[in-house]
Every structure is written in structure tokens, then in C-alpha cells.
């Protein structure tokens, strides 16, 4: 497993080629590891689903990222940019994105995008939790935006499945986790006859996945091993 120690480009801060590992180690004297959050969550999910050789963790929050496990190993691509699914274009000449492109997925399904769409319809600033509550109370604007969110989410799940053919796609999203019918709504839109996605789900351990992923990195480093299995006490997670 390769950990990329530099922040090559962070769209929300405009950080570019920042050697964060060295900066922190020089300041604290503590060995430091730097990795993308989506990659860490994928490692955490793989620690839970150890029998899944191929797994994707799709994270939807402030941005949209994807961690990829192939043959039990984290896949980061040639330069560490694999999984930047939020910056794939889903609407040609669509909304301008902070990355410089137009029509990126992140501009349609991230939490800020959802809340901006709600503001455009209602002129109200609300939180994502309030958005979920308004959806549950059948607010027309929330219903419209949610169904558009499901359309885009289904599109990208379809594309991930056909491009990478993972056994499992885990969706980490407050909207999906808070609205129980979301997973079945996405599944109902996946009609490809050549798709073989076995599992589409939310995380079993939503608040623990990143901790598990970080622990995995430290165990690998300490034991100097590539793969191992652990027995999780699911009652305590």
C-alpha cells in the first residue's frame, strides 16, 4: 500500500504540493501518515468486509470522493488521483466547479450543492439535517431536489459498477443514511443487463469506518504485513 505524503491539490483550500507529513513531523516529532479520507474509509470498510476482494467506498459530504479496493489492496492510480469521482463530468457545460471544469458530479450531489439548490428554490438557508426533515415532511422543494439527487447517485453507481466491477459499493452520505428508502430507490434505477454489483449498502459502522481505516494503516506498518484478518466485536462497534 502506498501512502501519498504530499497534499497534491486540495480544491477547498487551494493547497498544492504541500508536504504536510514533513511539516507535522518536524513540528511534533511524531511519525505521520497522510492519506485521502475516501481512501481511509475504503480501508475501514475492507477491514469489516475482509472477504470482499473488490470494494468501493463512495463518500458524499462537503465534496464527493471514492476509495477503491482492488484484489484486497487500496488502489490510488499512477499519481494518487484515482477515485476523484466528484470531478467526473455528468452534465456537459454544467455548473462551474472549483476544480476548473464545468458539470462535475460534486456540483450536483454534495451537501453544499443540495443546500444551494434548496436556497435557489426557496431563498432559505438550511442545514442538511433540516433538509432531510423537510423531505420527510414532504416539502415540495426538498422532494424535487432529493429525487434529482437519487438520479445522479444512480448514474454514478451505474458507472462505478460498470467501470470497476466491484462486489460491494458502500455509500457514505448523511442524506442516504437518514432516508431509508434511498438504497432501494437507487437499486430500482439500475437496469443494466451486464451489471453484476452484488452489494449496495450504507456503512455498518458509520462513525467508526475512518478510525478502522487509520488503525489498519498503523497495524500494517507495525507488523510489516500487506494483508491480515481481524475478528471484530460487532456489539461494541
Q: How confident is the model at residue 28 (pLDDT cuts 50, 70, 90)?
A: confident
Does 144 score more than 90 pLDDT? yes
**Residue 231 resides in a domain:** no
Quick check: is 7 in a domain? no
Q: What is the span of the domain harbouring residue 151?
A: 36-223
Smallest CA-to-CA distance from 164 within 108, 85, 229, 92 is with: 85
**Global pTM?**
0.82
**pLDDT interval class at 204 (50, 70, 90):** confident
Tell me whether residue 63 is in a domain. yes
pLDDT, tens digit (0-9, with 9 covering 90-100), for 157-193 = 999 999 999 999 999 999 999 999 999 999 999 988 8
- Residue 139 confidence (pLDDT): 98
Q: Is 5 a member of any domain?
A: no
Backbone angles phi and psi of 173, in degrees to 5? -155, 130
Q: Does 195 reside within a domain?
A: yes
| Alpha-carbon torsion (224, 55, 183, 108), positive or negative | positive
Question: pLDDT per residue over 58-68, tens digit each?
Answer: 999 999 999 99
**Is there a domain that residue 93 lies in?**
yes
Average pLDDT, the chain: 86
Answer with the residue of higher pLDDT: 174 or 21: 174
Q: Is residue 229 part of a domain?
A: no
Q: Report the CATH number at residue 187.
A: 3.30.420.40
- Number of structural domains, the chain? 1
- The count of other CB atoms within 10 Å of the CB of residue 134 is 20
Q: Which residues contact 143 (CB under 8 A, 6 or more apart)?
A: 135
CA distance 76 to 42: 11
Report yes or no on 46 lying in a domain: yes
Amino acid at each position: 500500500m502506498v501512502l501519498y505524503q504530499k497534499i497534491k491539490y486540495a480544491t477547498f483550500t487551494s493547497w498544492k504540493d504541500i508536504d504536510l507529513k514533513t511539516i507535522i513531523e518536524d513540528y511534533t516529532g511524531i511519525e505521520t501518515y497522510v492519506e485521502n479520507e475516501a481512501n481511509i474509509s475504503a480501508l475501514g470498510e475492507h477491514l469489516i468486509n475482509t472477504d470482499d476482494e473488490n470494494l468501493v467506498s463512495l463518500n458524499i459530504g462537503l465534496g464527493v470522493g471514492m476509495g477503491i479496493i482492488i484484489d484486497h489492496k487500496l488502489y490510488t492510480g499512477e499519481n494518487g488521483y484515482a477515485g476523484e469521482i466528484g470531478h467526473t463530468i455528468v452534465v456537459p457545460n454544467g455548473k462551474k466547479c472549483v476544480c476548473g471544469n464545468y458539470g462535475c458530479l460534486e456540483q450536483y450531489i454534495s451537501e453544499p450543492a443540495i443546500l444551494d439548490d434548496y436556497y435557489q428554490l426557496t431563498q432559505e438557508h438550511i442545514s442538511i439535517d433540516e433538509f432531510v426533515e423537510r423531505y420527510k415532511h414532504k416539502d415540495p422543494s426538498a422532494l424535487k431536489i432529493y429525487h434529482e439527487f437519487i438520479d445522479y447517485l444512480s448514474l454514478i453507481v451505474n458507472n462505478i459498477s460498470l467501470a470497476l466491477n466491484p462486489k460491494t459499493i458502500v455509500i457514505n452520505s448523511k442524506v442516504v443514511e437518514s432516508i431509508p428508502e434511498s438504497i432501494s430507490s437507487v437499486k430500482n434505477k439500475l437496469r443494466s443487463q451486464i451489471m453484476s454489483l452484488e452489494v449496495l449498502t450504507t456503512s455498518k459502522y458509520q462513525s467508526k469506518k475512518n478510525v478502522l481505516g487509520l488503525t489498519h494503516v498503523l497495524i500494517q506498518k507495525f507488523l510489516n504485513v500487506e494483508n491480515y484478518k481481524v475478528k471484530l466485536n460487532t456489539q461494541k462497534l
